[in-house]
Amino acid sequence: MTPATAQERVRAGYSGISGYQVPLWLGVDFGLFNLPSANFCAREKFMAKRHGYARVLRTLGQALEKRGIDLFDLRCNQNDFYLQCGDPTPPYLSLVELRYSLGDLNDLDLDARAHRGGSVKSVNFQGLPEILRALGRRVDDKDGQLLRICNSESSAPSSSIKLEYQTHDGRKHVEDLHTGALEDSAMHMYMERTRGSESRSWK
């Protein structure tokens, strides 16, 4: 499903609040879905940050991809990740609520590594795992605390993702990033990993 198609589902709205149709972005903005505040992660240095958001978010992306989910609003609460997602099955009128702890994601990552073994797979830089990995790397590079990732706001372009994070100086940063730029970042990250692997193999 293309980002544009996903955005059309946002505009169509989702049921689940007393049977009324409510757009996902509107429900989130008005607090109708009981999502945690986006300011939790600024309180202290959490384990998720020490593990590296790039790795954690890639694993989360794999979990969402397996469920067929491509439309979501993710909030970070300490070491927990809360999501409100658009239902990936027709008629797309429900909300899917998910929660992953850091321990859950670590277990999923270890399981995926065990199944991959030494096999080499092609990398889809347009896929959600690599897009989220690139977003995580952006937060890691700024030594920030992740607050929110959202691709379900109807006011945003269909090809953009909103990233919110907080830096050490207490400033909150909100960025609307083009998916094409994130795909390029994911490709560069892959090339870095490949060069690092080749360098280690010669030692």
Q: Rounded CA gap, 119 and 148, in Å?
A: 33
From first to last of its 203 residues, the chain has per-residue pLDDT tens of: 554 455 455 444 444 433 334 455 445 454 555 554 444 444 444 556 667 999 999 999 999 999 999 999 999 988 999 999 999 999 999 999 999 999 999 999 999 888 877 666 789 999 999 999 999 999 999 999 999 999 988 666 668 999 999 999 999 999 999 999 999 999 999 999 888 765 554 44
The model carries a pTM of 0.75
Supply the mean pLDDT for the chain.
Answer: 80
Strand ranges (E), the chain:
14-17, 20-22, 72-77, 80-86, 95-101, 145-150, 160-166, 172-178
**Which residues, 6+ apart, have CB-to-CB distance to 5 below 8 Å?**
none
**10: helix, strand or coil:** helix
Neighbours of 22 (CB within 10 A): 18
What crossing angle do the helices spanning 128-141 and 53-67 adopt, rounded to 10°? 160
Q: Residues in the chain, how many?
A: 203
Q: Rounded CA gap, 46 and 146, in Å?
A: 10
Please spell the DSSP secondary structure of 31-55, one letter per residue: TTT-PPPTTGGGSS--HHHHH-HHH
